[in-house]
Copies of this chain bind each other. A is one copy, B any other.
């Protein structure tokens, strides 16, 4: 049933009021006419951090140019800090307060910008992605500020629009704002199940390829030229067909060479993971997966590469019939990469293989293979203090060990922090699998929101303890 917000107890009432205020701001970074709302949201977040007692710096990133030539101001990135005791570990939290577009008409059962509780779920755009987790973290810091931990915050407003300017800022501030950061925490994803907590320690990378085959500068009629020319489309189809077989195995020589071997420790992790295979299959709409067991499915989603063919540009794509021989066609495919595949090696393997397949066709057409976009995979060491602390925190709050999970998609932010800062990164989600980020009826449950805040607080305690032990060990070693 419907439950009016704010009647529970003081703590959760305050938390939910916070979220209600933030969700009410239409800080949609995708639709450019709402940019001023994003900027207003950044100001609210800065105020909230100042109220916490943090030193807040809203860094102006200037403006960016839209495809129509118009210049639009970028929202600032907030760099804030609270506590500077050199004895304490410094935890840096990353989050974002911009959201995906949402309109009641898209199929929302409630107004997307009015946080509404139904059956224990708090519905609203940004509830789980990412305003809820950001507020949970801030509220955990506020409530447990006596903890022996220094806090830093990186809050941005352009995550849903490609995090424009963020990477450059991280590079610039690496030796300044970020100099004393020990650990980085990101809470911008979801558990794998609806009820069991999870820690995320890896994401796949993605290498996108264009394969262009060109015969000349004009499309031809299949009546007038069919049967006497090497059709670019036939060449392209053969090239695309050479990439992957019907079992999903990638046929590019050497592509699996650098894939990290599966360790026994890792294999064990998969056994205990809570994952509803049937539900995932139902969500996909497909009748049958390539593998039968939970373990095999997760292994192939998270720690093995995959190749998908997305489409062809330049060929006939409309309904109906057009007996054209297209002159220039561009196949698009991508390879989800895993550790320790190297982007430049993958690119070389793909180009060499396709050029070899093409050369065997004796086609006079022109082949061009390019990689317009490449993102590296990310994986963390699950024995790092960050993961030990997060695991203990989750167990304290939820009374069970969290799942150690990865994500088959490419989330560049963790990799970006790890590469630039050279510090450990954890993705510590508090939302459940069915939260519907980016969808209609996005929500976070009251339970996850409140318990998530507690997990963060417990995490502060655990990381400070572990850090203290590490310092001691290190001091002892120095003493000897």
Which chain A residues have a beta carbon within 8 Å of chain B's beta carbons? 204, 206, 208, 215-218, 220-231, 233-235, 237-238, 240-241, 244, 246, 248, 284-291, 297, 300-301, 304-313, 315-319, 321-327, 332, 334, 336, 360-365, 372-373, 407-410
Contacts and interface: CB of A to CB of B under 8 A. Distances in A.
A336 B285 contact: no
A468 to B, nearest CB: 38
26 contacts: A223-B407, A223-B408, A226-B408, A227-B248, A227-B336, A228-B289, A228-B297, A233-B310, A234-B308, A237-B237, A237-B240, A238-B241, A246-B360, A246-B361, A246-B362, A246-B363, A285-B327, A309-B315, A310-B315, A310-B321, A310-B323, A310-B324, A311-B326, A313-B316, A313-B318, A323-B334
Please provide the 10 A-B residue pairs with the shortest distance between their CB atoms, ordered closest to farther: A216-B285, A223-B409, A227-B306, A311-B316, A311-B315, A241-B241, A288-B364, A226-B306, A317-B317, A246-B361
Contacts of A309: 231, 233-234, 237, 315
Contact of A224 (B287, B315, B408): B408
Nearest to A215: B286
A372 B321 contact: yes
A334 B222 contact: yes
A318 B313 CA distance: 6
A89 to B, nearest CB: 32
A296 to B, nearest CB: 8
Contact of A218 (B246, B285, B317, B334): B285
A244 to B, nearest CB: 6
Contacts of A248: 227-228, 230
Given A220-B284, A234-B246, A246-B234, A226 B307 contact: yes
Given A223-B206, A311-B312, A316-B310, A230 B322 contact: no
A204 B231 contact: no
A179 B246 CA distance: 59
Given A225-B408, A229-B286, A310-B323, 13 more contacts: A216-B286, A222-B310, A223-B408, A224-B408, A225-B284, A226-B301, A227-B248, A227-B290, A227-B304, A237-B241, A287-B365, A310-B324, A321-B334
B313 A317 contact: yes
Nearest to A305: B227
A241 B322 CA distance: 19
A235 B288 CA distance: 14
B306 A222 contact: yes
Most B-side CB within 10 Å, residue of A290, A310, A316: A310
Given A230-B246, A246-B361, A409 B224 contact: yes
Nearest to A325: B308
A407 B225 CA distance: 11
Nearest to A310: B316
Nearest to A218: B285
Contact of A223 (B288, B312, B364, B410): B410
A137 to B, nearest CB: 25
A321 to B, nearest CB: 5
A54 to B, nearest CB: 34
